[in-house]
Amino acid sequence: MVLEVVSNIMKFYDYLLRRTDIRVKDYPLMQSPVQMTAILFGYLFLVLYAGPRFMANRKPFQLTSAMIIYNFSMVALNAYIVYEFMMSGWATTYTWRCDLCDYSNSPEALRMVRVAWMFYFSKFIELMDTVFFVLRKKHSQITFLHIFHHSFMPWTWWWGITLAPAGGMGSFHAMVNAAVHVIMYFYYGLSAAGPRFQKFLWWKKYMTAIQLIQFVLVSVHISQYYFMEKCDYQVPLFIHLIWIYGTFFFVLFSNFWIQAYVRGKRLPKHSEKSSINGDATIIPNGKHLENGTMVNGNGIAQNGKVKEV
């Protein structure tokens, strides 16, 4: 029985290697699913076990400069990915309805293959989000939703660009996701930059709303497939998975919205609040700590000096 199971797994593995689109075989992390799966297991081990143990008896790292550079770099990367998706079809030849995978070697198809891989690879860079949380001991931010999203997304996208790298209608959700990440990392970058930018962060609540709009757009767009008289999209399994993905994450983020902003479970309790990726932390005695800066009712202490405000 065990030998039969192993044999079937190996047959499926060989099938995948044969089906891998030749245009992506030479890209990093595309030779087999083993590499990316090992990275993701290492990520889970690091952020759920090794990282917290390493930080248990250490003070949180500030990492202000690193976070500013990281977040604004991610803004630039995701903006470029959106542009490339647009120029690879979505703003040129696509109908925004039943757009098929292009398996040719045309310049536009190869451009779509390249940006699809860039989007996939960006998901591994985004694992740094959680690493920053661990090193800064922001344990409340390492939620099931956060871990699941960061580990599941790159794993599923390997299969997507293995079989359909020039994805047609199956790539819409990636373009929308990259656009949302431009906004998200811009917010994180401002947040990490310090108190002088806090007045520009009044729209934090709407970040979750933007995420919800993303999943609505993705689900509505992909749902067209079920109402068209005919659509010969080459890998219909991905259509079903994208619809499930959009709906599932809409439910998860809706629950977060309800808990945070309707029931108020993530709002300050006795003036105590911690926020995400660089935001301030407010503690009960009225002091305001942010990236090593202490603010109280009398002034701001920076590097040991008090400045009246």
pLDDT at 265: 61
Identify the burial level of 171 via C-beta atoms within 10 angstroms of its C-beta, where 0-12 means exposed, 13-18 middle and 19 or more buried: buried
Q: Is residue 150 part of a domain?
A: yes
In this predicted structure, the answer to whether residue 3 has a pLDDT above a threshold of 90 is no
Report pLDDT digits (tens) over 4-27: 778 877 776 777 677 778 899 889
Cβ–Cβ < 8 Å for 218, 175:
no
Nearest Cα to 189, choosing from 87, 72, 108, 295? 72
Q: Is residue 125 part of a domain?
A: yes
pLDDT-derived band at 284 (thresholds 50, 70, 90) equals very low
Q: Is residue 218 part of a domain?
A: yes
What number of residues does the chain have?
Answer: 309
Dihedral angle, C-alpha 279, 284, 286, 287, nearest 10 °: -50
How many domains in the chain? 1
pLDDT-derived band at 272 (thresholds 50, 70, 90) equals very low
pLDDT at 182: 97
- The token duo for 288 is 């305001």
DSSP 155-171: HHHHHHHHH-SS-GGGG
Q: Is residue 4 part of a domain?
A: no
Identify the burial level of 30 via C-beta atoms within 10 angstroms of its C-beta, where 0-12 means exposed, 13-18 middle and 19 or more buried: buried
In this predicted structure, the answer to whether residue 42 has a pLDDT above a threshold of 80 is yes
Q: Is residue 46 part of a domain?
A: yes
pLDDT at 25: 86
Q: Is residue 40 part of a domain?
A: yes
In this predicted structure, the answer to whether residue 75 has a pLDDT above a threshold of 90 is yes
Report pLDDT digits (tens) over 139-186: 888 988 889 889 988 999 998 888 888 889 999 999 999 999 999 999
- The token duo for 124 is 């591994």
Q: Is residue 232 part of a domain?
A: yes
Report pLDDT digits (tens) over 107-135: 999 999 999 999 999 999 999 999 999 99
- How far apart CA 79 and CA 184 sit, in angstroms, is 12
Domain range for 94 is 26-270
Mean pLDDT of 224-241: 92
Q: Is residue 9 part of a domain?
A: no
Mean pLDDT, the chain, rounded, equals 83
E strands in the chain: 273-274, 281-282, 288-290, 293-295, 299-302, 305-308
Q: Convert 31-56 to b/e letters by CB count within 10 Å (16 or more is b).
A: eebeebeebbeebbebbeeebeeebe
Mean pLDDT of 57-84: 96
- How far apart CA 98 and CA 254 sit, in angstroms, is 29
Q: Is the dihedral of CA 64, 69, 70, 75 positive or negative?
A: positive
- How far apart CA 222 and CA 173 sit, in angstroms, is 9
pTM equals 0.80
Report pLDDT digits (tens) over 177-217: 999 999 999 999 999 988 888 888 888 878 888 989 999 99
User: Catalytic residue numbers?
Assistant: 149
In this predicted structure, the answer to whether residue 95 has a pLDDT above a threshold of 50 is yes
**Regarding predicted confidence, which is higher, 258 or 44?**
44
**Regarding predicted confidence, which is higher, 253 or 177?**
177
Nearest Cα to 252, choosing from 281, 280, 219, 211? 211
Nearest Cα to 131, choosing from 61, 211, 58? 61
